[in-house]
Amino acid sequence: MPATLEHHESHSLIRLEGECTITSAAVLKKLLLEGLVPGGNLRVDLERADKIDITVMQLLWAARRDADRTGAKISIRASDATDRAARDAGFVFPEEPLQG
């Protein structure tokens, strides 16, 4: 899973590509912890993710819960396939716009 974290003036952006599975969970957790700051704005781009598994979905759900607790904002852009996989597993990505 190629993953990057970019810091911009108004937000941080995590981009994930390829297969995002349990084997990449530690990397994603590290990026989420770095990108999710109290009162900040984190955007997660899954448009190029071919596959995500339940572990990745759980990490994103936990990040969303932490964001709510700390006053941060998190938005997720998912490909149709990734969104379908999440919905099939009982997760719903927020329908917030992702720009930048």
For residue range 67-91, list pLDDT tens digits in order: 989 999 999 998 888 888 888 888 8
Q: Considering the entire predicted model, what is its pTM?
A: 0.85
**DSSP code per residue over 3-24:** EEEEE-SS-EEEEEEEEESGGG
Q: Give the start-to-end residue ranges of the domains of the chain.
A: 3-88
Is the pLDDT reported for residue 56 higher than 60?
yes
Task: Domain 3-88: give its CATH code.
Answer: 3.30.750.24
pLDDT band at 11 (very low <50, low <70, confident <90, very high): very high
Is the pLDDT reported for residue 100 higher than 50?
no
Separation between Cα atoms, residue 48 and residue 56, nearest integer Å: 14
The residue type at 2: P
Helix/strand/coil (H/E/C) assignment for every residue in 19-79: EECHHHHHHHHHHHHHHCCCCCEEEEEEEEEEEECHHHHHHHHHHHHHHHHHCCEEEEEEC
Q: What is the pLDDT of residue 60?
A: 92
